[in-house]
Homo-oligomer: A and B are copies of this chain.
């Protein structure tokens, strides 16, 4: 059991670092950590805060229905998605970012319905992954402004991808999580690094690497 005053400084520092890398520009992105399991309580960023100026006062506590525990506070609109991830995965922290490469790949992988990352040593930075031969399959969901629908879509996608460490919303961004804030942040760094590699390979070759890694060699490349 933690408290809002304990987790808020850590979440604020994490958010500022993600903003500095360009993964949460303007007011985009939102960040949370579980404060209590029974009954569930979550510390989450307030709605509409500029992430470059994020301070510990920009977080508030919500209950399991996403209702603020203090009067007048307005949590992020996507609080219900954070709560869904916490319940479905037992996560202790959920981080949501908007990056250039994540947005680009969410478009490129839209028809496939999932983005596959495999054959990279960096995958071993994901919790429980022991080999680069791991195939990380991130579901890609349609974006919506109906957060209850988004929450249901997320629950289904997590059920269908029981081993996934994150998910992409199309034209929107990444959700990832961990058992605590540092693990969730490490998952952001790993996945965003791999998004950049995949995105640049996509730009170079005109296709996603949804096939065995070996299929990528130069000989197969079309017009070039």
Residues of A within 8 A of B (CB): 22, 25-28, 50, 98, 100-101, 103-104, 107-112, 119-122, 125, 130-132, 143, 145, 169-173, 186, 189-190, 193, 196-197, 199-208, 213-214, 216-219, 221-224
A218 close to B213 (CB less than 8 A): no
Cα distance A108–B125 in the bound complex, in angstroms: 23
B208 close to A206 (CB less than 8 A): no
Q: Which residues of B contact A103 (CB under 8 A)?
A: 120, 122, 197
Q: Which residues of B contact A172 (CB under 8 A)?
A: 120-121, 132
A207 close to B190 (CB less than 8 A): no
Closest to A108 in B: B218
B169 close to A121 (CB less than 8 A): yes
Closest 5 CB pairs of A and B: A206-B224, A222-B223, A207-B224, A121-B172, A111-B217
A222 close to B222 (CB less than 8 A): yes
Cα distance A69–B145 in the bound complex, in angstroms: 48
Q: Which residues of B contact A98 (CB under 8 A)?
A: 121-122, 193
Task: Give the shortest distance, in Å, between A129 (CB) and chain B (any CB).
Answer: 11
Q: How many copies does the complex hold?
A: 4
* Cross-chain contact of A206 among B26, B122, B213, B221 (Cβ < 8 A): B221
Cα distance A170–B213 in the bound complex, in angstroms: 10
Cα distance A50–B121 in the bound complex, in angstroms: 16
Cα distance A23–B3 in the bound complex, in angstroms: 35
Cα distance A67–B200 in the bound complex, in angstroms: 39
Cα distance A203–B101 in the bound complex, in angstroms: 13
Cα distance A112–B196 in the bound complex, in angstroms: 24
B130 close to A145 (CB less than 8 A): yes
Cα distance A26–B196 in the bound complex, in angstroms: 15
A132 close to B143 (CB less than 8 A): yes
Closest to A98 in B: B122
- Which of A122, A169, A217 counts the most B-chain CB atoms under 10 A from its CB? A122
A173 close to B207 (CB less than 8 A): no
- Which of A26, A130, A170, A208 counts the most B-chain CB atoms under 10 A from its CB? A26
- Which of A101, A221, A222 counts the most B-chain CB atoms under 10 A from its CB? A221
